Structure 1
């Protein structure tokens, strides 16, 4: 069972990362899928997506849950039936979840690729104060941070470029602050990130609201 990393960023909060090395058939073993999960799986055309989907169910099991404990709301945000917060991600050969009993959270994993420089202007705004389109590793961190913020906030119409801000950071420090400014709502997040095997992972923990403008 390739549980790649386990991280405890705060009390009652845990990050689990899986390295997807098994075949589809191997991943299909040892977990019970709901009828809805089976239906979703059957409509996935890519095997890497199928394996990512199944690996997340193994991460749920590692966290003490069964597949039926997970459900999604109308915005596509995952929830756990026991009321704990959860966020989910998978990218190519890695998947991850973050679970917390007391903090709203979000997580994202992305493969580091040069093509992120081409699309940087679609999600970078304030961050151009401390990076350029050539900063592939930092751009990937910024994307992961903004994706994790989006997963926490889960509000239709939210824009990475217009409604999120990532504060300047050093790659070797592994942490930063993220902000959401959305229609008068101001929300602050503590964000931690790490790099491994050519991938970047970031996870955001809600610090609190500064209210509405």
Structure 2
């Protein structure tokens, strides 16, 4: 059972899973399967739910609703959660206190070519064409998008990054502004050899 890492913050519990198991393992543990068509997508879908169950035993999967904008949530808001996956990793954050968002991304060369689509000129200077920093910034914007939860956000215009600071060789803090709500947010980042992750 390759739990990659699990930790708690003042408001949430986070876990990362490295997927090496079969689809049958997750389905047997959960008591249900996945309706995704692609085998890899089924693994990602099930591993994310498995992590929810790991963090919150007895998680009420039957009460999950998908919002009109595609965000999975509990109707009674008794628990806030966010799921992300980038094969072979899945990540989950849960909180009983506030809205949350998380994103994990395995490093891919193509992000260097695509950075101008989601990074402003100023943000590109901050990232300095570094794959880890660019990927982490993408994760931070995705996590903030999930935290916001209301869609219709331009990653370049509506989520400007003020700073990205490495606090340790693997930890970072990312300051961003969510223009839709005029909210200044600080996201946490994790930089690993094969992936980056950010959460709020």
Does the pair score TM above 0.5? Answer: yes
1:70 & 1:197 partners in 2: Cα distance? Answer: 33
Supply the distance in 2 between the matched residues of 1:79 and 1:91 (Cα, whole angstroms). Answer: 20
Q: Structure 2 stretches of 5 or more lacking a match?
A: none
3-state SS of 1:7 partner: strand
Query: Which secondary structure does the structure 1 equivalent of 2:73 belong to?
Result: strand
Give the aligned partner of residue 198 of structure 1: 194
Residue 29 of structure 1: SS of its match in structure 2? helix
Identify which of 66, 73, 77 aligns with 1:79.
73
**Alpha-carbon deviation of 1:105?**
1.1
Which one has a larger percent strand, Structure 1 or Structure 2? 1
For normalisation by structure 1, the TM-score amounts to 0.84
**Quick check: 1:63 aligned with 2:40?**
no
Q: How many equivalent pairs are there?
A: 193
Aligned to 1:110: 105
Alpha carbons 1:4, 1:18 under 8 Å: kept: yes
Who is 2:185 aligned against?
189
**Cα deviation 1:149-175 (Å, max 9, x = unaligned):** 111112232110110022222343421
In the TM superposition, what whole-angstrom CA distance separates every residue of 1:97-150 from its partner, at most 9, and x where no partner exists? 111111211000001112101110100014134233x21111001100000011
Match of 2:141 among 139, 142, 146: 146
Q: Give the alignment's TM-score, normalised by structure 2.
A: 0.89
SS for the counterpart of 1:149 is: helix
The reply to whether residue 52 of structure 1 matches residue 51 of structure 2 is no
> The residue matched to 2:29 in structure 1 has which SS?
coil
On the 8 A contact 2:163/2:176 being kept in 1, the answer is: no
Alignment partner, residue 90 of structure 2: 95
What is the alpha-carbon root mean square deviation over aligned residues? 1.7
Moved runs in structure 1, 4+ residues, more than 4 A? none
User: What corresponds to 1:9 in structure 2?
Assistant: 9
- In the alignment, structure 1 segments of 5+ residues that lack a partner are 205-213
Answer yes or no: is the 8 Å Cα contact 1:164–1:181 preserved in 2.
Answer: yes
Match of 1:208 in 2: none
Deviation at 1:82, TM superposition (A): 5.4
